[in-house]
Amino acid sequence: MGRQSESGLPVEQVYGPGDPAGFDPAVKLGDPGEYPFTRGVYPAMYTQRPWTMRQYAGFATARESNERYHQLIAAGTTGLSVAFDLPTQMGYDSDAPAAQGEVGKVGVAIDSIEDMAVLLAGIPVDRVSTSMTINAPAAVLLLLYQLTAHEQGVPASALNGTIQNDVLKEYIARGTYIYPPKPSLRLIADTFAYCRSEIPRWNTISISGYHMAEAGATPVQEIAFTLANAKEYVRAALSSGLAVDDFGPRLSFFFVARTTLLEEVAKFRAARRLWARIMREEFNARDPRSQMLRFHTQTAGVQLTAQQPEVNLARVTVQALAAVLGGTQSLHTNAYDEALGLPSQHAARLALRTQQVIACESDLTATVDPFAGSYAVESMTDEIEAAAADLIGKVEELGGAVAGIEQGFQKAEIERSAYQVARQIDTGERVVVGVNKFASPEPQAYEPLRVDPVIEREQAQRLARLRQSRGSVAWQRGIDDLKRAAAGQDNVLPPLREALAARATVGEVCDALREVWGVYRPGEVR
């Protein structure tokens, strides 16, 4: 049964060709929840349940981040999203020389299972979905999450969440890679196989266009390079012996939502259609879940401004609308003060409230795909799909995503687009409110949230106590078993899990893999 409008008129759950208020019967889009999923991956979409509302959070120590998570859950967040600090993302312990000055700065410092236990204290991990933005050491953090849940008495089969685990975009746009592409793809394929048997409800990868967009990729480049990377992951998994429908249903994606609302809606619809056809026609996926492009969205951090930061509230609202109208499965809305520093508690709550207003006070949850049949959006969807398919074809002609990365193709294309945008802003052709137009002469009084540098010393002390207290025999055996698996053909996650359970640290297990696999240097062909 549909809802009623403010005027008491009926609002249908789905509109389609031939409906009195529907669109041109000549337009053939399919129904929501059906191939090629242009109109959404589920038949009812938000009419039965809204998207998962996540807030990306993590800073300083595990204890402080845990406090923020409890605040967000109390405010109505329905899914956690963990930000890790740079040393953790690079596979270094907090007391490593490379970590100096970066501990806890852009996310939470996690060095061992003891930190993960503090991070998740009091969090009902069997009921809360957790997304972890971690790539090169994604398997390490996932196993720490599993081990911590086990110590809480929660079975792995009850865990629900996502690891980003998308290293190819790191080579293109972000830079937090560790190993060369070949062993990195092996580690990802091993994670697919491990989760299929051990953590079946977990999304094993979130193939990300967001960071490429933040580096300057256009909407067409964002989805083209993301889907080209996704094809590389599928091939790696198939080469490891998995069947496409064994892992296809757990693939997920991560995109940006910009302020160009109509193009963003069209981008999401085009991406769903492209991926459905790629999986069915190129990889012979027969399970409809393997053909679905399920995605998380984050509003565009790169479009936030330090000037007149309160204007970011308006930007984030428009971006969130684009994500919802485009059919996202989960959403993070940026805080208005993030261009100045880590978001304050007040700003993070306002960002969440933005989603809640859209879900609870607007009528966007009353009907599925409300832009279906729009002359503008349908035309844009077709044009974006065609342009992205052409760009994917160019990547394939180079030999696939890894070959393109080694030749610098994707990076050069994105840098060209970023330069064009910068020029347009400089000349005023592209308006940024409060920056190159409607600027305010009044100074902004703002005190950003800062991370106390003392936490670096405290983390080092925690690590020293851990190393003194753990059993050296079990820890060393775990590291040795991990190296043997990495040098051979066995799945590396079981010995990795045992090493972490024996209190090996994130840096130690990553160093063990560095010793066997080496590290990636830009420009190398491996």
The structural domains of the chain, with segments of one domain joined by +, span 32-427, 470-517
Q: pLDDT class for 30, splitting at 50, 70, 90?
A: confident
**Tokens encoding 55:** 């807030």
Q: Which residues contact 501 (CB under 8 A, 6 or more apart)?
A: 113, 147, 478
**Both structure tokens of 501:** 């359970």
Digit-coded pLDDT (tens) for 353-397: 999 999 999 999 999 999 999 999 999 999 999 999 999 999 999
pLDDT at 36: 95
| pLDDT at residue 525 greater than cutoff 60 | no
Element holding 183 (H helix, E strand): helix 181-198
Model confidence over 140-153: pLDDT tens digits?
999 999 999 999 99
Asked, as a colleague might, if the bond just before 36 is cis with ω within 30 of 0, I would say: yes
Tokens of 78: 């329905």
Cβ atoms of residues 56 and 256 within 8 Å: no
Q: Alpha-carbon distance 342 to 57, whole Å?
A: 9
More confident residue, 58 or 229: 229
332 sits in which H/E element = strand 330-332
- Per-residue DSSP letters for 356-382? HHHHHHSSTTSSS-TTTT-HHHHHHHH
- Tell me the β-bridge partners of 203: 162
**HEC readout, 475-496:** HHHHHHHHHHHHHCCCCCHHHH
pLDDT at 313 exceeding the cut of 70: yes
Q: pLDDT grade, residue 453 (50/70/90)?
A: confident
Class of domain 32-427: alpha beta
Contact 41, 272 (CB under 8 A): yes
Furthest CA-CA distance within the chain: 74
- What does the pLDDT read at residue 29? 80
Quick one: pLDDT at residue 443? Answer: 67
pLDDT digits (tens, 9 = 90+) for 121-141: 999 999 999 999 999 999 999
Cβ-based burial of 142 (10 A; exposed 0-12, middle 13-18, buried ≥19): buried
Residue 1 has pLDDT above 80, yes or no: no
Cα torsion 239, 240, 242, 247: sign: negative
What integer is the mean pLDDT of 46-52? 95
Average pLDDT over residues 47-57: 91
Beta strands in 1-57 (DSSP E): 3-4, 10-11, 52-57
The verdict on pTM exceeding 0.85 is: yes
Q: What is the mean pLDDT of residues 418-424?
A: 96
Cβ contacts of 23 within 8 Å, gap of 6 or more? 15, 16, 17, 372, 373, 374
Mean pLDDT over 166-186 rounds to 95
Residue 524 has pLDDT above 60, yes or no: no
pLDDT the model gives residue 308: 94
Q: State phi, psi for 435 to the nearest 5 degrees.
A: -115, -65
Locate 111 and state its tokens: 């060095």
In angstroms, the CA 125 to CA 158 distance is 8
For 184, half-sphere exposure in the C-beta direction (CA atoms, 13 angstrom radius) is: 26
Determine which of 11-20, 99-108, 256-265, 511-520 has the lowest per-residue pLDDT on average: 11-20
* Interatomic CA distance for residues 21 and 37, integer angstroms: 22
Within a 13 Å sphere around the CA of 332, how many CA atoms are in the beta-carbon half? Answer: 27
**DSSP calls for 185-210:** HHHHHHHHHHHHHH-TTEE-EEEE-H
- What is the rounded CA–CA span in Å between residue 418 and residue 388? 18
Query: pLDDT averaged over the chain?
Result: 93
Angle at 372 between CA 371 and CA 373, to 5 degrees: 110
